[in-house]
Chains A and B, each alone.
Chain A
Amino acid sequence: MKTPLRAINWNRLQDEKDLEVWNRLTVNFWLPEKVPLSNDVQSWATLRPEERELTIRVFTGLTLLDTVQNTIGAPSMMPDAITPHEEAVLSNIAFMEAVHARSYSSIFSTLCLTKEVDEAFRWSEENPHLQAKARLILEEYKAGSDPLKRKIASVFLESFLFYSGFYLPMYWSSRAKLTNTADLIRLIIRDEAVHGYYIGYKYQRGLEKLDAARQQELKDFAFSLIFDLYDIEQKYTAELYDGIGLTEDVKAFLHYNANKALQNLGYEALFPPQACEVNPAIMAALSPDSENHDFFSGSGSSYVIGKAVATEDDDWDF
């Protein structure tokens, strides 16, 4: 007897998180055409030639990771899905990775000369560190490898490996350069945050079904993989950023993001707080309009209390 083919029923959920994340991702859908990149043409012209070369290289590096995630990473996790809705969410993730990869080409066609871009794509194929980190991730995406290790690799790609690249547009934006490009990159960063969160969540659901020995084995694997990736990232970062003297600043950003990637998997931080003191200008570029105003820190200028109106029960009927 043949097993029946099953149609997906979104009104019968096994995991509420699938619908929550589906809704979040679909509401956040965007295309690069919505961002007025051409407003950055003048700003681009103010960058020195080596700064332009660096920026194009960083973006081809990001394009490579998005390409891997679009064509191999997200599809490779679909057969591992526990629920049909998880497969549907992964198909959204795969497509958005294609949108991200496509966005960098929009930036290139708006700001750069074809010759410069062709040169950078050649560079991305020849750069040993970029190739090494992509290959380390691809090793786990191979058919037949452990579904949970695949998720670990995917979370590290989405929540850690992108950040040596994301640093640069945030840096330019903090100096009021390429601000429209930064707006586009922030849309990508927002998507990657949901992807890392969701795949990390699914990892934790899979992990809780295993015995303590297997759980420990996977945790050891995760920490060893992030060490290996970090080792490559350090070299990649130095090669890119030594020229403009930003390597140490980028590294603090890498530590901070490595810790967040581990948290997405449910693990504790690896790097101590003093190694994660990210340049406040980069933090502000990451979440603009979200000034750090809270009571305990006693900092920030926009903290206001007392102008509120008494709340009615109706207020809470959102």
Chain B
Amino acid sequence: MGGLVYYSSASGNTARFTARLGLPASRIPISPQGDMPEPALPYVLICPTYADGQGRGAVPKQVIRFLNDPDRRALLRGVIAAGNRNFGATFALAGRVIAEKCNVPVLYRFELSGSDLDISRVLAGLEKFWGTECLTMA
């Protein structure tokens, strides 16, 4: 099974979701001075959305900084995006932006810190996803 990398701002919604998954996961630091995770194996990214009404700024700056590194980006296999449906068309937009930029699928979308149903769907989904994934590099 591949790894998990996540970002969560000080509000802690994505951190609470990731903790409930109960899987090992590395956190992208909130502070630009913090040390970035350096994944050695393929991973899925869990990322919240911070878009304004026009969809600008959807991907948090620290996530952009993390993915700007070609080595880290090369191991990204999929993205799970968080958001709030109350933001309408920009709900979980960060997932779509990252998927398009990095050519990986949006695996799942959930709201705020997720429901129990979201947790079980993501756990089952990840297991299936890594089962079909070739973990060695091409």
Where the two chains meet, the residues of A that have a C-beta atom closer than 8 Å to any C-beta of B are 15-17, 20, 23-24, 27-28, 186, 189-190, 192-193, 197, 200-201, 204-205, 259-260, 263-264, 266, 269, 272-273, 276, 283, 286-290, 292-297, 303, 305-306, 308, 310-311, 313, 315-318
Contacts and interface: CB of A to CB of B under 8 A. Distances in A.
B102 interface: yes
Given A287-B85, A296-B129, 12 more contacts: A27-B56, A186-B88, A190-B87, A193-B84, A263-B111, A269-B115, A286-B85, A290-B85, A290-B91, A294-B107, A295-B78, A310-B103
Contacts of B84: 193, 197, 260
Contacts of B12: 204, 266
B53 A28 contact: yes
Contacts of A306: 103
Contacts of B130: none
B73 A201 contact: no
B10 to A, nearest CB: 6
Contacts of A186: 88
A308 B103 contact: yes
B133 to A, nearest CB: 12
Contacts of A15: 10
**7 closest Cβ pairs, A-B complex:** A296-B125, A193-B86, A308-B103, A289-B89, A273-B117, A263-B112, A290-B91
A288 B106 CA distance: 18
A300 to B, nearest CB: 10
Contact of B89 (A264, A287, A317): A287
Contacts of A27: 52-54, 56
A283 B101 contact: no
A27 B115 CA distance: 30
B50 A20 contact: yes
Contacts, number: 123
B100 to A, nearest CB: 6
Nearest to B124: A296
Interface residues of B, number: 51
Give the most central of B11, B67, B91: most A CB within 10 Å.
B11
Contacts of B53: 27-28, 190
Contacts of B85: 283, 286-287, 290
Contact of A292 (B89, B105, B109): B109
A272 B116 contact: yes
A23 B67 CA distance: 24
B64 interface: yes
16 contacts: A28-B52, A193-B84, A205-B10, A263-B111, A286-B86, A286-B88, A287-B88, A289-B89, A294-B105, A294-B106, A296-B124, A296-B129, A297-B108, A311-B102, A316-B64, A318-B59
B68 interface: yes
Interface in B99-138: 99-103, 105-109, 111-113, 115-117, 121-122, 124-125, 128-129
B112 A295 contact: no
Given A297-B108, A316-B101, A190 B13 contact: no
A305 B103 contact: yes
A272 B68 CA distance: 40
B46 interface: no
A62 B52 CA distance: 24
Nearest to B53: A28
B92 interface: yes
A189 B105 contact: no
B103 A311 contact: yes
Interface centre among B54, B95, B125 (most CB of A within 10 A): B125
Find the residue from A193, A276, A306 having the highest chain B CB count within 10 A: A193
Contacts of A20: 50
Contacts of B70: 313
A276 B103 contact: no
Contacts of B112: 260, 263-264
Nearest to B65: A316
A182 to B, nearest CB: 11
B108 A260 contact: no
A43 B87 CA distance: 25
Interface string B79-98: 00000111111111001000
